[in-house]
């Protein structure tokens, strides 16, 4: 039996998943896995190889060969591709505008799900990190990747709140221009992503946390209460 703690968090863009997941990981001394980064790095890998992202078979072959290492330290999460740190490239517009093409590829999803599962299981069993556990976040962690997680949270917020948060993150402000520049990333991508993952409604056993209008501290406190009640 393992006494490691596995926490799964899903939700749409701008719901505050990454902020919450990293903070929970630090609070409980766990590792942190951002699965969105894995779809993003798969995109970088294919783009760098000149692969047409609409060619689903070619993308799937390339992703199966991708030499990826996820560094799951919540204080400094990094993504190494063939040994090179590509973390800084993952949230550029070049990647954000096309990543959904890779994320809706079912063969890619199967490959990345297996890799995500292996990372989570390694923490659960003997622990690359003292066996304490992991917080994994994405779109299908509570449902497909880790439906057996100890705690499963679906983090949601109104589209207006999510847009304002992403705009502030990307452009330093949530003025009209920044909101318009971010709208595509948040609204169109969620619509596209939701064709392959159900992350707007909680499955049975998943706790929904609606943090519309909340500050990060309030979201964190509510999540800690959920985790502590479940342990």
Under the criterion CB under 6 A, does residue 138 sit at the interface with ligand DC?
yes
Under the criterion CB under 6 A, does residue 15 sit at the interface with ligand DC?
no
Give whichever of 52 and 228 is closer to ligand DC, judged by the CB atom: 52
3-class secondary structure for 140-202?
CHHHHHCCCCCEEEEEECCHHHHHHHHHHHHHCCCCHHHHHHHHHHHHHHHHHHCCCCCCCCC
Under the criterion CB under 6 A, does residue 39 sit at the interface with ligand DC?
yes
147-176 residues near ligand DC, rule: CB under 6 A? none
Total chain residues near ligand DC (CB under 6 A): 15
Under the criterion CB under 6 A, does residue 139 sit at the interface with ligand DC?
yes
Query: Among 13, 31, 143, 211, which residue sits at the site for ligand DC (rule: CB under 6 A)?
Result: 13
Residues in Cβ contact with 126 at an 8 Å cutoff, skipping those fewer than 6 apart: none
Query: Among 111, 123, 140, 161, which residue sits at the site for ligand DC (rule: CB under 6 A)?
Result: 140
The answer to whether residues 32 and 74 touch, using CB atoms and an 8 Å cutoff, is: yes
Q: Is the dihedral of CA 61, 67, 72, 76 positive or negative?
A: negative
Neighbours of 110 (CB within 10 A): 12
- Find the shortest distance in angstroms from Cβ 222 to ligand DC: 21
Give whichever of 141 and 227 is closer to ligand DC, judged by the CB atom: 141
The answer to whether residues 112 and 79 touch, using CB atoms and an 8 Å cutoff, is: no
Give me the 79-118 binding string for ligand DC, x by CB under 6 A, dash otherwise: --------------------xx--x---------------
Give whichever of 68 and 131 is closer to ligand DC, judged by the CB atom: 68
DSSP 136: E
């Amino acid at each position: 039996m393992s006494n490691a703690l596995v926490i799964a968090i899903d939700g749409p863009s701008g719901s505050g998943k990454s902020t919450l997941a990293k903070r929970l990981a630090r609070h409980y001394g766990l590792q942190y896995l951002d699965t969105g980064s894995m779809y993003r790095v798969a995109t970088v890998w294919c783009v760098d190889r000149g692969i047409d992202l609409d060619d689903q078979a070619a993308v799937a072959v390339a992703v199966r060969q991708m030499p990826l290492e996820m560094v799951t330290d919540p204080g400094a999460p990094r993504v190494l591709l063939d040994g090179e740190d590509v973390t800084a490239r993952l949230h550029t517009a070049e990647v954000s505008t096309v990543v959904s093409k890779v994320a809706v590829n079912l063969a890619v999803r199967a490959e990345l799900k297996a890799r995500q599962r292996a990372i989570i299981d390694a923490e659960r069993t003997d622990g690359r990190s003292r066996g304490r556990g992991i917080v994994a976040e994405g779109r299908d962690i509570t449902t497909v990747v880790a439906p057996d997680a100890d705690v499963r949270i679906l983090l949601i917020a109104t589209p207006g709140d999510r847009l304002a948060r992403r705009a502030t993150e990307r452009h330093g402000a949530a003025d009209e221009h920044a909101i318009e520049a971010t709208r595509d990333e948040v609204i169109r991508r969620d619509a596209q992503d939701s064709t392959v993952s159900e992350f707007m409604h909680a499955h049975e056993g998943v706790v929904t946390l609606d943090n519309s209008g909340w500050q990060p501290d309030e979201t964190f406190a509510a999540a800690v209460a959920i985790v502590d009640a479940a342990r």
